Amino acid sequence: MQKITPFLWFDGKAEEAMNFYTSIFKDAKVGNIMRYGAAGPGPKGAVMSATFQLHGQDFIALNGGPQFSFTPAISFFVNCETQEEVDELWGRFSEGGESQRCGWIKDKFGLCWQIIPTILGELLQDKDTQKSQRVMQAMMKMDKIDIKLLKQAYEQQ
């Protein structure tokens, strides 16, 4: 069992969210689902909590009610090797979601994800500060990150 596990609070949509997230990532699986019994506090048979795994990372989803909601101050950073992977994940998270600047996207449950190509970090850490600054300026204009445009900014004279 991993030492630290993200615990996600949903308002009645924990099972739907778990199924959505596990459908997006290839290396994903559903774990245990706990349902309310006759004693409640939720309706008998409704999901109380569910566990799932995305690329080896465990998560717990709870149907906790309307008291709390997600904020962009917490997000999940997803490293992508190719533009195709960026495009695929961006498209899936866009379903009912909201795109935001610099590779951030809020999904239909209000949870924020950062869909980031690995090369972005490499380009931003280049020792040539003019190149890295051009990459930063290009990224700041993007919602979904475009690797080709990042490389063009990097190579620009």
CATH of domain 1-66: 3.30.720.100
Query: Can you tell me whether residue 50 is helix, strand or coil?
Result: strand
Q: What is the pLDDT of residues 42-84, one digit of tens each?
A: 889 999 999 999 999 999 999 999 999 999 999 999 999 999 9
Scan for tokens 């717990």, then name that residue.
60
**Predicted local confidence at residue 149, as pLDDT:** 97
- Is the predicted pLDDT of residue 24 greater than 90, yes or no? yes
- Is the predicted pLDDT of residue 1 greater than 90, yes or no? no
Q: How many CB atoms lie within 10 A of CB 148?
A: 8
Q: What is the pLDDT of residues 86-126, one digit of tens each?
A: 999 999 999 999 999 999 999 999 999 999 999 999 999 99
- Is the predicted pLDDT of residue 147 greater than 80, yes or no? yes
**Predicted local confidence at residue 78, as pLDDT:** 97
Locate CATH 3.10.180.10 in the chain.
Answer: 70-157
Locate CATH 3.30.720.100 in the chain.
Answer: 1-66
- Is the predicted pLDDT of residue 12 greater than 90, yes or no? yes
Q: What is the pLDDT of residues 26-40, one digit of tens each?
A: 999 999 999 999 987
Q: Choose among 20, 72, 74, 95: nearest CA to 50.
A: 20
CA angle (48, 36, 1) in 5-degree steps: 45
**Predicted local confidence at residue 2, as pLDDT:** 86
Choices 3.30.420.10, 3.10.180.10, 3.90.1490.10, 3.20.20.70: CATH for 70-157: 3.10.180.10
Q: Choose among 97, 107, 95, 105: nearest CA to 145.
A: 105
CA gap 10, 145 in Å, rounded: 28
Scan for tokens 């445009």, then name that residue.
149
CA angle (91, 89, 7) in 5-degree steps: 120
